[in-house]
Amino acid sequence: MLGAILFFIGLTLRLFIYWRGQWDFWALVRGVLSTLFSQKIWELIKITVLDGILQRRLFGQDKLRWLMKVLIMIGYPGILIAGHLKVEMMSQFAGFPHLIRFFYAPFCDFYYFRDVTASSLSISDALFAISFDLFGAMILMGELIAIYRRFVAKMVTFETSSGDILAVNLLGGWFILRFFCEATSILTYSLPTSVAQYWFVSFGLSKIIAPLGLPWSSLNYPLWSLSGLFLAALVAFIPYNKKLWHIITIPVVMFINLMPKEAFAPGSRKVSLPLSVKGLIALDSCVKCGSCVDICPLYTQTKQLEITMGGFFTNLRSFIRKAYGLPGFFLGPGKNKEILKEYSEHPYLCTLCGRCGTVCPAFIDTKDLRIATREFMVEEGEYPPLMNRLAETLEKVHNIVGDPPEDRPMWVQALSRVPEHMFQKEKAKVVYFVGCVASYFPMTKRIPQSFVQILDKAGVDFTILGGEEWCCGFPMIAAGMKKRAEVMLQHNLEKVKEKGAEGIVFACPSCYHTWKERFKTEIEIFHSTQFIKKLIDEGKISFKGKTTKVTYHDPCDLGRASGVYEAPRQILQAIPGVELVELERNREECRCCGGGGDLEMVRPDLSAALAETKIEEIKATGADMVISACQQCIRTILTTARKKKIPIVAMDITEFVLKNMVG
Ligand code: SF4
Ligand code: SF4
């Protein structure tokens, strides 16, 4: 009972912080109901089994850690369910209220052993006995592996806190004690082998300790009491330790990841903590497991743990607890604000490549949370001042480079054959949204120049928005200034609607992803690779052959963020003579080029270092050229290659398609 009281106090402290965050009661209720009563429930069941229980994500990463997790993930629910089922069936508890039975469930064997008189067990009792010891042994093995990894092999990246040591000891200690309790009960009540053998671990243990000749009956009750104390301490400690608390938050995170974004709209409540309740729960789910460290391109360059997701989340969580928990509520943030200033740049030392999100065993949408934490830092006023300059430029001239808006379609003038309307029609079936980088950077103007020719040759009724096109808003969203990006998003949507378009196509994955995420509209949204693939399938594009060996770089916002991996590969494979060799890390594992997440603005040196690593990986394939499907990737790779004088051919897929097209 004491454990339960301490648990509820800790739970209240946690919920207090969530309560101070952004949420809207009815939006949340609608979100929960619309998820529960939709097809998403099957997705939830699938990920619960494959990712939650069978730990699919860990299997490819670290087999020992996978085994540890699977043993614990099966053992704990197994023993809890078996214990509760058995208590419900035991005659000793008939008539007891459910709450009492709930608390006695972990000790059901104590009561069972005390009263058993039979010389054999019923099938159900035998199955319960076997399952208790089987699940218990699984948990114990899992805990032993955890201890080995952390303390013997030192396979963990982050330091182990004293709280984590206590948590591991309580988890493992309770099961060791439990087996001793069962063994002493077997000896105390002289259970016949025909009965005791089903508790196969405890029975074996009883055989080992029996020769010690200790007063088992005197030890039995104190041992079960000690086991009760361990369990109470374990329960009480859950809300106070991240490793234990994430047992509760992980299923919640799995569920809220499936909920619609609108469910986490801030609502009209006056909010003091500028982070959504989704972000706060996700932040609490990080157990500093270290999976996101070695795969992070920024970490491989800087070796700074505090800029990885695990490191940064830990610092931020600690700040939020102090500044927005009960002490902060009564005393204000005080000196904690200065601590926040110290790591104001950290959230921006990230390309938002999303690679960490693919390996995170806590199912944290790391990219989403990183952007949310940037919004938090902006609200707190602790962020790189350069972000203000970016926002001001975008608000003034609606493009990231600061050039006049009317210069946006200047790339058209370099084309040899241009229709009278200069690709700007009053009405068209399809709008080609060009994007800032391809419109303004000389290095990437070949992308729109190629794409309009492809569309023209394929007979597509399309238009561009010209000077009426504004930045898609992604650079501002990535900077943590989502609210300020809203005007640009709405402007673009209106302009596309004015054209009466049925579809919109983007050659830039970030623009494409922003529209996909943001707009539920009748207008069909395509990336250029999807659109070209459609044109090939419709027979509107055909190719001449030329022997070329190419490799393909998956842009982060097209691959990991939007799940488009196959369309570009299918296009390349449709061109006769093209041999596609994959990069060492491709598709979901593709290494970022360094061009995303506004990193180039904050730390151009790091962005260039990432591009250099990418170029080395491309070179290692022996391909004649690298093809990508993103203007920013092409610009980042080529800029670094030129600076470092590395000979490399990098081409957007639109250019490559045009070069190989018939006609
Ligand atoms: S963010 Fe995920 S992968 Fe990274 S340390 Fe936290 S739990 Fe582990
Ligand atoms: S999104 Fe990419 S760069 Fe950012 S922390 Fe994750 S792996 Fe590192």
Taking the CA atoms of the chain, what radius of gyration do you get in angstroms? 30
Length of the chain: 663
Q: From the CB of 256, is ligand 2 less than 6 Å away? A: no
In the numeric block, which tokens belong to residue 403? 């050039």
Q: From the CB of 287, is ligand 1 less than 6 Å away? A: yes
Instruction: Pick the ligand that lies closest to the CA of residue 291.
Output: 1
Shortest-distance Cα residue to atom 6 of ligand 2 = 356
In the numeric block, which tokens belong to residue 532? 């070209």
Instruction: Pick the ligand that lies closest to the CA of residue 294.
Output: 2
User: 210-214, 265-269, 406-410, 647-651: lowest mean pLDDT where?
Assistant: 265-269
- Ligand 2 atom with least separation from CA of 307: 5
Contacts of 503 (CB under 8 A, 6+ apart): 429, 430, 431, 523, 524, 525, 526
* Angstrom distance (rounded) from CA 278 to CA 368: 10
273 versus 496: the higher-pLDDT residue is: 496
Q: From the CB of 290, is ligand 1 less than 6 Å away? A: yes
Which is nearest to 466 in space by CA: 442, 441, 446, 492?
492
- In the DSSP assignment, the letter for residue 345 is S
269 pLDDT more than 80: no
201 pLDDT more than 90: yes
Query: For the segment 561-620, what is each residue's pLDDT rounded down to a tens digit?
Result: 999 999 999 999 999 999 999 999 999 999 999 999 999 999 999 999 999 999 999 999
pLDDT score recorded for residue 565 = 98
pLDDT score recorded for residue 546 = 84
**Cβ-based burial of 434 (10 A; exposed 0-12, middle 13-18, buried ≥19):** buried
pLDDT score recorded for residue 594 = 96
- Structure pTM? 0.89
Q: Is 422 left (phi over 0), alpha (psi -120 to 50) or beta?
A: left
Cα of 25 to ligand 1 centre, how many Å?
Answer: 29
- Residue indicated by tokens 């003579």: 577
The residues pairing with 578 across neighbouring beta strands, listed in sequence order, are: 548
7 pLDDT more than 90: yes
Do 28 and 267 contact (CB within 8 A), yes or no?
Answer: no
Do 489 and 448 contact (CB within 8 A), yes or no?
Answer: no
Cα of 311 to ligand 1 centre, how many Å?
Answer: 9
**Cβ-based burial of 290 (10 A; exposed 0-12, middle 13-18, buried ≥19):** middle
* Secondary structure (DSSP) of 195-233: HHTTSHHHHHHHHHHGGG---HHHHHHHHHHHHHHHHHH
Helix (H) or strand (E) holding 69: helix 63-89
Cα of 310 to ligand 1 centre, how many Å?
Answer: 5
Instruction: Compute the average pLDDT of residues 226-243.
Output: 90
Cα of 288 to ligand 1 centre, how many Å?
Answer: 5
Query: For the segment 112-150, what is each residue's pLDDT rounded down to a tens digit?
Result: 888 777 788 889 999 999 999 999 999 989 988 988 888
In the numeric block, which tokens belong to residue 5? 């009281």
* Angstrom distance (rounded) from CA 556 to CA 502: 27
Cα of 296 to ligand 2 centre, how many Å?
Answer: 5
- Ligand 2 atom with least separation from CA of 556: 2
Shortest-distance Cα residue to atom 3 of ligand 2 = 350
- In the DSSP assignment, the letter for residue 287 is -
Q: From the CB of 158, is ligand 1 less than 6 Å away? A: no
